[in-house]
Structure 1
């Protein structure tokens, strides 16, 4: 949970992009095609994937990519 918290912005935006791609017409177009239990399993699977990716990323880098961008944009000089 700690790596996912350190990369919360990256995970949040990544989840949004992945689910938009899965459910929108420009992606797989699965909106209203899956049952509720399938969507819950899918959402949990996406979160587990991204949480594991965050762990791997933070073993190599200090912070997530979007967190780095926000740091650069908001750092006072």
Structure 2
């Protein structure tokens, strides 16, 4: 199995931008479950299975339903 790419090392500017967006979202008044759904959808578009797993797990912990998680790509 090939090791995962570390974005922080490969492209520090892109990583910094993602961290900045995350900080912005932390202060936004959006529902936490909705934020995770957005992250799941972005991970689908980026085809990142690792991120999909993380954000789907986080969404479930917040009480998000399986139906909403599974139908995001529809």
Is TM (by shorter chain) over 0.5? no
Q: TM-score, normalised by structure 2?
A: 0.33
Task: State TM-score, norm by structure 1.
Answer: 0.32
> Which is higher, the Rg of structure 1 or of structure 2?
1
Larger RCO, structure (CA 8 Å, separation 6 or more): 1
